Amino acid sequence: MVKAIRVYEFGDPEVMKWEDVNVGEPKSGEIKVKNKAIGINYLDVYMREGSVGVIPSFPYTPGMEAAGVVIAVGPGVTTCKVGDMVAYAGFPVGAYTEEQVLPADRVVPIPPSIDPIVAAAVLFKGLTTHVLVRGCFQVGPEHTILVHAAAGGVGSLVCQWANALGATVIGTVSNKTKAVQAKEDGCHHVIIYKEENFMDRVMEITSGKGVDVAYDSVGKDTFEGSAACLKFRGHLVSFGKASGSPEPIKLQMLYEKCLYLTCPAMMLFTNERSDLLAASNELFSNIEKGVLRVRANHKYPLSQVVQAHLDLQDRKTTGSIVLVPDN
């Protein structure tokens, strides 16, 4: 038996319970991993609230990102061995646990130079960032981009990666402390949205032209404003809804500037193992070269996951949140 977080109903963070579970042994094509660090993503919140399309059957263990050491290998596994350090991001759900059984083809090797806490803090968000700046839109030096929640886990990485690719980066944040971080992470212009209208400021910065792409993980509060900030044939990339789901899309909003709208899902972009390995290798390489700095700013014991979710939802955190197993 090991300790894990279990959820029996949708609701606030308090629905997450600290319990004993029986993990079992790996079957054909599976491995068993002892988790060293577990990442928290906003998708975990949506799932706990029941506000996403894919919901596990109750009861379930939350979490879609972790790093740890392989402690058992099932029949037919050739991609890793006992003692290897590996990480995974995406499905299956079940990372908030001391140990878990995973499909071997969904884990990636962690380079020796990268700490498991860093790997757990970055893999889901880093693969998402890869999709945003290298997949659904190819960011380059000719582009000006808008990044909402620029001090958040994904936002921080998008700013850094886009800056390294030569783009001009405009970021929005909620306060001066987060503005300092956004500047450090490559934002050329930082907008504190509680103090000024981000749409007006974006148009001022771009001399009325607008941005090539807006990355919006906030949702309801920013969606239409993000579209208004785009130039002709600009791209609106919606990949989250921290403030709630946007209102139904008015097609006229897209027609007026011939805008492109996309809602990319990291799991679909990395469904093939070859794509997963290529994206994770590029991500880890950029970390090793110093192109990306991973901000694992907040660490909580796994047993204190309720407080971690509360702080995330209250926007008290910057960068990434990591859970560390209590054992």
User: Which residues does 210 contact at the CB level (< 8 Å), separation at least 6?
Assistant: 202, 203, 229, 230, 231, 232, 234
User: Which residues does 59 contact at the CB level (< 8 Å), separation at least 6?
Assistant: 6, 7, 8
pLDDT at 172: 97
Q: Is the CATH number 3.30.420.10 carried by domain 2-123+273-324?
A: no
CB 3 within 8 A of CB 20: yes
Residue 55: pLDDT over 80: no
Residue 94: pLDDT over 80: yes
Q: CA nearest 177: which of 167, 186, 188, 190?
A: 190
pLDDT in tens, 68-93: 999 999 999 999 999 999 999 998 99
| DSSP letters for 173-218 | ESSHHHHHHHHHTT-SEEEETTTS-HHHHHHHHTTT--EEEEEE-S
What does the mean pLDDT of the chain come to?
Answer: 94
Spatial separation of the C-alpha atoms in residues 132 and 18, rounded to whole Å: 35
pLDDT in tens, 196-223: 999 999 999 999 999 999 999 998 899 9
User: Which residues does 247 contact at the CB level (< 8 Å), separation at least 6?
Assistant: 220, 223, 224
Positive or negative CA dihedral for 93, 98, 100, 106? positive
pLDDT at 241: 80
Return the bridge partners of 197, or none: none
- Topology adopted by domain 137-263: Rossmann fold (3.40.50)
Spatial separation of the C-alpha atoms in residues 93 and 325, rounded to whole Å: 17
CB 190 within 8 A of CB 168: no
Spatial separation of the C-alpha atoms in residues 178 and 156, rounded to whole Å: 10
Domain ranges of the chain: 2-123+273-324, 137-263
pLDDT at 236: 96
Q: Which two tokens stand for residue 12?
A: 């606030």
24 CA to centre of own chain: 29
Q: How many CB atoms lie within 10 A of CB 12?
A: 12
**Residue labelled with tokens 């577990």:** 38
pTM of the model: 0.90
User: Which residues does 256 contact at the CB level (< 8 Å), separation at least 6?
Assistant: none
Q: Compute the CA torsion angle 28, 90, 153, 61 (nearest 10 deg).
A: -80
